[in-house]
Structure 1
Amino acid sequence: MRSLTQVLIALCVLHAILGVILPCWRGSYCFSQPEDYKSYAIINLFRDGWARVSILYWFGENNTVLIFKARLIGVPRLDSLTIIDDKELPVEYETVGKDRLLIYVLGAKWINVTYYTCTITFKREEIWVVNYTFPYVSFLVLPEKAVVLDINTLPLRIYSKDKRMVLQMPPGIVKVAYVLTLNSEVPISKKKETDVLSLLSAYIFPLAVTCIGGVVAWAIMMWYQGLKVSRLKGLLDDVDKEIIRLIEDMGGKAYQYEIQDKLELPKTTLWRHIVKLKECGILSIEKRGRTNYLKLRGRIFLKKLVRG
């Protein structure tokens, strides 16, 4: 009984020792990730497409991490790569692939990785696009005079620093399209002159051209109608003109028998005049049952034709 009690006590002591030692041992050699809310990246974009990336990885006050595997933003230019710890001392590292590093943290509170890269931007004609993935918050500093055209996700914050737009982006995929305007300042007087010229070229000039074109088209149409009227007046007799007047008085539409009743003409004679008016392009004939339905074409033009 006594030996059994001693065995149980020994097991409890061993369990307590392992509970203290194993977590420390495991934490010292595993690949750990820093706390989300204290890790971030700053990406400074330049006008030529290059970017200066500065990533801060936070591990905490009581850090037991010895080795940290970091995935970078883009492929770094190795001769520009520097890594320092919280004591501003250089940190040893090894490259693992194009965009990954094996960093020997050795218990530092935080480390800062800085480098230059040109692999997160590309240009399509005049439009620049920056595209990267980062698991923590990033601050994207656009070049001076940059204008954002498109963005894949809503920024957490937008502000200006040293005349440059800064986008505070949430974790995940970031894709921003932008264009660069002229870098030189334009005097205020020149800006006003440019604004006036832009207004003239955008609105007043097209409106003036449209008005002039409309006047010319109207003048050509009136000239053509006058020419057509003078030509038709020589072809139409008094009966033709009377038929046109009667149909006009009836709203521009009438049945053939209605015209025949008013003019008291033989059916064949009236039909000959109707066919003549149709061939001149003045009337259209629509068959309705056993009679014809007559319609005038171009009533304003026909008023000039039968005037006087």
Structure 2
Amino acid sequence: MKGRMVSLVLMFILTLSLVVPAGAQSVVSLSLRVYEDGYVLVNETISTANYTVALEIPLLGEYVEGLIAVDENGNVLPVEINGGNVTVYFENASLITISYYTPDLTSKDGPVWTVSLESPVPVEIALPENSIIVDLSDIPLQIRDNVVVMPAGNISVSYVIPIQTTQTTTTTTTSSGGTGGGQSTTVTTTTPSPTSSTTTTSSQPTGGPSEGSSGGGAWWVILVIILVGAGMGYAYFRRGERTRSRDTSNPEALERFREKIESMEDLNDDEKGALIFLIENGGKAPQSRVRKALGLPKTTAWRMFKRLEERGLVRIYKLGRENWVELVLE
């Protein structure tokens, strides 16, 4: 009996030793791709310790989406997220690459965006297209187009995304001769910033009275068609908005939903609190607002909303840079 207990203890200690802590592996490379809405795609490659079967890796953000881990051969590996770390399970891999999205690496102050993190290795950061760098925490190792490579340490890159503007220049040349009147050639040059393009319109004769009135009539017809199309598009958009928000603005439907969740005994207090908060706010709200109202960490709230979505009680969608959650009413 005593020998059996000793064996069980030794097996437990061996299992614990197979999980490599966050500081026992070596980061080989780290790259970031920053999107215009502030989300960042993280790609991190880690060298594993020998004779291990699991690796615990710290994440660069509390809130992550779409996490996947592969070995050097591209085989997908099982993972388990625990708070701010992810545990990757493997067999004979020497390199592991994890990829995921997170909004926690960026912040915005007015028009200025900032990417900030701490890294033990140089980091390659791909900024949004046409970004203008306004501040760096250190001298970059390399800059090419919209990609900057920063040295290891505390890294900060600030940038702005310029607003597209258009400048249009129109030049009209009129030539006259004979009895047929004159002919006008119009050249229109459109220059958007920061990129540019040139568009040339075909020449339009303006020699006789009948030609002038015909050309003017054609332009009026085109203008009317454009205005009618725009009006129909706006009406369709408003009708779609009314259709999407019809259920969530119905007090009776919200009250029936309240009675439904109060009868569901398998919901925990946080889940019921989130659903009641949505009922009291018209049926939908940003995830961050619900999370702050309940005092929940980002990861806990994210998992809670996923559970509610899987049960068909809420719908999660993206509006601008924020994730919104909306009740699914019958």
TM-score bracket relative to the smaller structure = 0.3 to 0.5
TM-score, length basis structure 1: 0.46
TM-score, length basis structure 2: 0.43
Larger Rg: 1
Higher RCO, 1 vs 2 (CA within 8 Å, ≥6 residues apart): 1
Structure number with the higher helix fraction is: 1
